[in-house]
Structure 1
Amino acid sequence: MHLSSFAAFWLLLATVVRAISWTATPFNPSSIPLAVRTPYLSAWLPQGSGAALNDAWATFWTGMIVGWAGFVKVDGAAYVFMGAPSVPATFSKATQKSSHFTSTQSIFVLSAGPVDLTVTFLSPVEPDDLVKQSIPFAYMAVSAASTDGLSHSVQVYSDISAEWVSGDNSLNVKWNSTTTGSILTHQVQLADPAVLTEINDHTQYGSAFYSTPNIEGATFQTGADVAVRAQFINNGKLANTLDTNFRAISNNWPVFGLAHDLGTITSATTPVVFSVGHIRDPALTYIIAGGGTQNRNLYFLSKFPTSAAVVSSFLGDFTAALSRAKTFDGQVQTDASKISADYASVVALSIRQAFAATELTLSKTSTGAFNMSDIILFMKEISSDGNVNTVDVIFPAWPIFLYTNPALGKYLLEGLFRYQATGLYPNKWSVHDLGSSYPKALGHNDGADEAMPVEESGNMLIMALSYAQKTGDHSHLTRYAGLLDQWTQFLIADSLIPANQISTDDFAGSLANQTNLAIKGIVGIGAMSKIAAILGDTAQSANYSSIATSYVTQWQKFSASTTGAHLTLSYGDSSSWGLSYNLFGDKLLKLNLFPASIYSEQTAWYQTHANAFGVPLDTRHTYTKTDWQLFTAAIATNTTTRDIFISAVKKWASDGQNNGPFGDLYDTVSGAIAVGFRARPVVGGHLALLVL
């Protein structure tokens, strides 16, 4: 996770927070997820100090606008309920009454005259169903209810713009619509796609889809934004006409509109459902043995060979999908609430974001059939530099996979293990990532990846063992025993007294003799002792256990401060200290390498060193990270310190200073966020307390 000039990325924002005019539960975050499913299907409602659904445009995770508008007509009067459109026609703004988010849903209630609209955005999280989890689509459902006991005529409209298909609005797009059959679908794509490329983190190939059931009262239209929206505002329906003047995204902003006439309503209506999605094929290219490459295809394509088939299935599944989502949300809420209400709210905001950095893929056989036994999950290092399957980004996200479905973790590690087992990567430690730029997983055959030798080697050993312990599946341990032992040999040489190197917190710079990094290495050696025991090599297990135990004894002397009861940041610097979050691995794996006194000492120290927005990462700066604070909370020996960390993260997430998706690196004094650290999957680490 790399930022070239860290200081330049602080965004200093006003600390005065306006009170919002609606009820926000469990709190009002910096940005509300709307359609958040993959690195490329990512639409958020930026909040700052508060923005209603119709105060601002939805944005991509980078902050770039993705046009998404919504209008409703009630008894002939038009109201905008979504987006911030300018239309040469008369309309009012609906008044937002409430917003609410869960792990999978964001729900808004707005009043449009005598009618309340409930707008539900559902981004399914289906960890146990690989087909459903891999579908890059999300729902918006709109229902209406009279608030005065009288009957009212209601029509609903929504559109997306061509902004969904590129990071460059000057590029030309083309589109087509399917207006017969049971589904109305608009499909839009670049006129000249560039496969496996990005611009401004948007994919530059594939198609966006906006769809709704083709039921009685449904109409459609494509054309310039102002024209299509005015058609609905003036007439309560669309013209069922298609603009065929293909052009640039920003040239009279082509939009793709869908409308429903709900008729005369009194009680709450059955929701009208829209789906938004983006499909591209291939999803990634991946390096294989011999140095060749292999195209990887999204998993759901094995069941749905056409876009029409997946759209139809997805829309038809809404009621069942919502029911499953409510069950999932309820389980997360129940589990997390056992810790605290603040914790439950932080976890709920984290889940869609963490999963949306990942994509499930399959390869194909020489005959073109899908190889259903060859599953790899890929993760984009959102924001910080766009790497593929960065080991020290997977590691902080790891708790969400252990909690929801550990098999997903196995599929994440598979790509890393398989590449390094080819022998193409020349270093004796673990690779940092599978490719410097998503979606190209081309490895680092020159060995010139960002070197975090102790960090990544320890991470791989810890994750491999924790998966095996959780599931009883030892296939990775058996297949890649040689790699795991190779990394352990490196840790034996370099983790007790770590050479000058960077850790996962590379923005803080390199440092020799890092106390916390040494913990990671020692835990890695201890993990290999357990792995060897699982594999039946009792002599090797005893040897590594002895080494790890000996290292802890020596480490205690190196890391102790002479000026206070705390661990140092680096050996010999008694005035320094930091978050010893790597002790989490010792607890996760139940190694019990480090004495209880270390945990209690650190817990007591943190309790007296919190700033307004949390405990600093270390003494070099006042910034901190949300993931590492909650890893540390998970291993705190009393609930007072635990809750200091949890409440600080929740306070920061709801402070109204920022307007991007959940960040993870920020200043504990001012609350300022590091620009470039937003929407990252490391928030999966917020579930750390749920897996211990």
Structure 2
Amino acid sequence: MYSRTLLVAGAALLGPVLGASWTATPFNPASVPLAVRTPYLSAWLAQGAGTALNDAWPTFWTGSILGWAGYVKVDSTTYTWLGVPNVAGPSKATQKSFQFTSTQSIFTLSAGPVDLTATFLSPVEPSDLVNQSLPFSYLAVSVKSNDGNSHNVQVYTDISAEWVTGDNSLVANWTTTTGNVLTHQVQLSSPSVYSEVSDHTQYGSAYHATLNTVGATWQSGQDIVVRQQFISNGALANTADTNFRAVSNNWPVFGFAHNLGTVGTSATAPVVFVVGHVRDPAIQYITANNGRQDRSVLFWTRFSTVSSAISTFINDYANALARANAFDAKVKSDASKISSDYADIVALSVRQALGAIEITVSKDSTGKFNTSDITTFLKEISSDGNVNTVDVVFPSWPIFLYTNPAIGKQLLLPLFEYQATGQYPNKWAVHDMGSSYPKAVGHNDGQDEAMQVEESGNMLIMALSHAQKSGDNSLLKTYYSLLDQWTQYLIQDSLIPAEQLSTDDFAGKLANQTNLAIKGIVGIAAMSKIAGIVGDTARASNYSSIAASYVQQWQGFALSSDKTHLTLAYGNSSSWGLAYNLLADKLLGTNVFPKSIFDLRQFQFSVPLIRKADIAHRLAETQWYSSHALSYGVPLDTRHTYTKSDWEIWTAALVTSTSVRDLLVSSVRKYAADGKSSQPLGDWYETADGSVEGFRARPVVGGHLALLIV
């Protein structure tokens, strides 16, 4: 047994390395997604300014270590290419290049006379919900000679029992099955259903699998024993350690080795490994009369066993890669129409956003899956850990509209279904479906975090935008009375919002918020369109008139005294903020705010504060904006110098100036690539120096796709 603490300290000395020596395409992000598929299958390389794949352990999104090691043996010399295993003898491969796309992270390392390419593929398959729901990810390894000669090569990888718990003092047990697929399965000996420790799930099983091809071997046991077996022999012993014990007790690992034989200058066919984590049931869900329902991940509707799911998944790698490449190419093409900087941001955001969701299905009274009842659940990663937080779903919303609006509908359904039971006592929309993922048990006491205008407006905007993008009006018709109830609340509290929180709750409560009023007014206008869709012409006309009246009055409250910019709060002409909620008016086509307001936002961010008569002179477009933008972007508002990357991109999507748009986009790209953090992309950061304020790995980066949906 060795000290994990010492190993972490050693890894810290190795990286990050300032000024990475390898080629990075498009850049080195703070943390690289490796296997990012669900809130509990979330493995990253904390890279900082330039930590190689073999300079640190992969980590869970929280930063806790996930043991994942890799060796390659070339002509009897062993090299480490993944992780920092503490075994004496192997040399260290040299990272030559790194590339990321929307679905893949690809590393090439030189191990003496051969180059090894490791492709970490986390599939994004929004058009096939079963495939999207599979809680598995690929690691594919290929090798080729770099000196023109042939070499004898074996490759190895393992995962540790750290993949199953947030408490390494707990006892795990494990099994290995053989056949066409070799599969290690590991889980806690005393699992606790629906519970977490340090955001890790405390039940279910982690899996590590590979095809049982000629030359494949396996072994479970103490880390240094299993790894030394490969270092010494180039193969594993096909033996199982049955001494079940605490995760930190002689660190049990679960390894595979493949003998590639003689390798020449052509890349070998990829050796494919699968990592995954499966729980069943996945979600506890509240039903009428405070009932409870256990929900399963959707993949169970196609596969009766985990082994059959893994077998299909691993044998489908070539096809999955082709589909991933096609998806990557489409996203890059669409985003590049904005700019290359924007394409880079979007590529980094996709896996992180979709890695926060799980697509689920219920069972009927006979125990059969009810495929007409599919709902999706989202974890509010790193902030509150809530379930389907409305003001986290909302900033994430662009990725669902872009990839598949049906997933968006499935995220909204639990919120609608719960509130339609009448168990939630407040007249505004609920904040979330439960305070602790994966328990979607509602708030029957009405004591959820109150964001009255925020969540009511969000629900109306998302419901209508889903219908517009999908052509499916079922949410609007089924939950029309709820939507109308929330609209009635917005009519009361939107024009002059009482002191309350907005989604930016870290900034505290504030009365008369200009941007919050925008959301409420657009919500009312959205209900006018919803009423029209369902044939309620009287309400459609009434709400349209109210929204139009409110906009006229709002302009008198919200504009600064010299009419040059929007305020943060009514009456405070020296204040301003990102009025990102205007994007909803553009997205929905409600057009309740006049073009002059959108143009004002352009000038607010692009020219000095000058007399209205002088605006036509159009001084240098970025002059005023630059004077308010700090090194890493525009502050969220005048209360602080921090900002939110999602709201910067939303603002970029609504301004009428291309140069202002590009400045906002480039600021976010600069922050994402600055190397000052080593955690998965955080959306809340300091514009003065690019430091992260406290969030990480949150799904709101799905909002970075805002420019692709308007």
> Which of the five TM-score ranges fits, normalised by the shorter chain?
over 0.9
| Aligned residue number for residue 703 of structure 2 | 685
Alpha-carbon distance in 1 for matches of 2:238, 2:675: 42
Alpha-carbon distance in 2 for matches of 1:472, 1:241: 56
The Cα shift of 1:670 comes to 1.4
| Aligned residue number for residue 631 of structure 2 | 612
| Aligned residue number for residue 648 of structure 2 | 629
| Aligned residue number for residue 192 of structure 1 | 190
Identity fraction in percent: 68
The Cα shift of 1:251 comes to 0.3
Q: Spell out the pairing of 1:343-422 with structure 2 (5 A cutoff).
A: 343-422=342-421
Alpha-carbon distance in 2 for matches of 1:304, 1:389: 27
| Aligned residue number for residue 585 of structure 1 | 584
Residue identity in the other structure for 2:67: G
Residue identity in the other structure for 2:246: A
Residues 157 and 255 in structure 2, CA contact (< 8 A), matched pair in contact too: yes
Residues 17 and 51 in structure 2, CA contact (< 8 A), matched pair in contact too: no
Q: Spell out the pairing of 1:177-216 with structure 2 (5 A cutoff).
A: 177-179=176-178, 181-216=179-214
| Aligned residue number for residue 124 of structure 2 | 125
Residues 165 and 208 in structure 1, CA contact (< 8 A), matched pair in contact too: yes
| Aligned residue number for residue 656 of structure 1 | 675
Q: Spell out the pairing of 1:8-407 with structure 2 (5 A cutoff).
A: 18-88=18-88, 90-179=89-178, 181-266=179-264, 267-407=266-406
| Aligned residue number for residue 427 of structure 2 | 428
Residue identity in the other structure for 1:506: D
Residues 144 and 269 in structure 1, CA contact (< 8 A), matched pair in contact too: yes
Residue identity in the other structure for 1:243: D
Alpha-carbon distance in 2 for matches of 1:50, 1:24: 10
The Cα shift of 1:210 comes to 0.1
Alpha-carbon distance in 2 for matches of 1:209, 1:553: 59
- 2:303 partner SS: coil
| Aligned residue number for residue 664 of structure 2 | 645
Gaps of 5+ in 1: 1-15
Alpha-carbon distance in 2 for matches of 1:40, 1:147: 38
The Cα shift of 1:17 comes to 8.6
Residue identity in the other structure for 2:154: Q
Alpha-carbon distance in 1 for matches of 2:18, 2:274: 33
Q: Deviations over 1:156-206 (max 9, x none)?
A: 000000000000010000000002x10110000001000000000000000
Gaps of 5+ in 2: 1-15, 607-624
The Cα shift of 1:600 comes to 1.4
- 1:174 partner SS: strand
- 1:527 partner SS: helix
Alpha-carbon distance in 2 for matches of 1:582, 1:193: 44
The Cα shift of 1:563 comes to 4.7
Q: Deviations over 1:359-392 (max 9, x none)?
A: 0000000100000000110000000010000000
Q: Deviations over 1:571-625 (max 9, x none)?
A: 0011000000000100000111111111111122223221100000000000000
Q: Does 1:673 align with 2:692?
A: yes
The Cα shift of 1:223 comes to 0.6
Alpha-carbon distance in 1 for matches of 2:663, 2:655: 10
The Cα shift of 1:18 comes to 2.1
- 2:668 partner SS: helix
Residue identity in the other structure for 1:255: V
Q: Deviations over 1:660-687 (max 9, x none)?
A: 0011000000111012x10000000000
Residue identity in the other structure for 1:188: V
- 1:633 partner SS: helix
The Cα shift of 1:64 comes to 0.3
The answer to which structure, 1 or 2, has the higher relative contact order (CA under 8 A, 6+ apart) is 1
Residues 499 and 512 in structure 2, CA contact (< 8 A), matched pair in contact too: yes
TM value normalised by structure 2: 0.94
Q: Spell out the pairing of 1:459-608 with structure 2 (5 A cutoff).
A: 459-563=458-562, 565-607=564-606, 608=625
Alpha-carbon distance in 2 for matches of 1:303, 1:474: 28
- 2:323 partner SS: helix
- For the aligned residue pairs, the C-alpha RMSD in angstroms reads 0.8
Residue identity in the other structure for 1:46: A
> Where do 4+ consecutive residues of structure 1 move more than 3 Å?
none
Residues 186 and 210 in structure 1, CA contact (< 8 A), matched pair in contact too: yes
Alpha-carbon distance in 2 for matches of 1:612, 1:233: 49
Alpha-carbon distance in 2 for matches of 1:454, 1:665: 22
Residue identity in the other structure for 1:465: L
Residues 17 and 656 in structure 1, CA contact (< 8 A), matched pair in contact too: no
How many residues end up aligned between the 2 structures?
A: 674
Alpha-carbon distance in 2 for matches of 1:58, 1:598: 47
Q: Deviations over 1:269-295 (max 9, x none)?
A: 000000000000000100001110100
- 1:142 partner SS: strand
